[in-house]
Amino acid sequence: MSADEEFREMIRGTAHIDLVHGCGLIAEAAGHHRVREILADQFDTLAMTVEGSDVVGVVRSLRDELGFDGDRQNYDNPANSMLHLVVERRRGLPILLAVVVGEVCRRRGISTQIIGMPGHVLVSDGAEVPTFVDAFHSAHPLSSGGARGLYESMTGLSNFEDRFLDPIEPRAVLWRILNNLLSRYRRTEDLAGMRWVMKLRVAFPDAEAEAEREFARLMGPLN
């Protein structure tokens, strides 16, 4: 079974989605080899190396001791959306860094949630009064009010809603990763990149019709 076929089967299934596995399939669909095996080794090492007893401590250890950070110089570089390369390079997009934090915390028995604000992604401890961390920029803990301030400073907007701090489920994480890649490939007019991303996007039932129409339109010149 090819990576895109396995990805489609996973997305359309009913079982819980393993985000690291899903990210591995995305990278393999992009042409990288043995990614899931590489990721298993990488996270085995990280889980043994990283310190911290809560999400803030884990992010601080990843950043201060191992050098993880957001890639602000080449933000939409596709490497920033390939999980194994993010771990290798210690650089990535907010959503991929959130996956790294989440997986390290999971292996260490620490509860986390990925928070999909419009235009940015945080990690939360999921507590009744939650603490948020912006792993892309720092290990500084944020309250709900701090997260709101971050959103407003980044967007220049005053339309914040409490639901922006709701956790997002794994399918939504993978969808946003694919959208980031598609945005890059559109900007650079990379038809081959658009093609493999859109083959994965059609796996999402709610987006299937729209994605298929866009796929046909963009791939028309290649027929």
Q: Which one, of 147, 78, 65, 77, lies nearest residue 104 by Cα?
A: 65
User: 126 in the Ramachandran plot: left (φ > 0), alpha (ψ -120 to 50) or beta?
Assistant: left
Q: How far apart are CA 19 and CA 86, in angstroms?
A: 14
Cα 219 vs. chain centroid, distance in angstroms? 26
Q: How far apart are CA 84 and CA 6, in angstroms?
A: 18
DSSP 160-218: --GGGGSB--HHHHHHHHHHHHHHHHHHTT-HHHHHHHHHHHTTSGGGHHHHHHHHHHH
**What are the sequence ranges of the domains in the chain?**
3-171
Over its length of 223 residues, how does the chain's per-residue pLDDT go in tens digits? 899 999 999 999 988 899 999 999 999 999 999 999 999 999 999 999 999 999 999 999 999 999 999 999 999 999 999 999 999 999 999 999 999 999 999 999 999 999 999 999 999 999 999 999 999 999 999 999 999 999 999 999 999 999 999 999 999 999 999 999 999 999 999 999 999 999 999 999 876 555 555 555 544 444 4
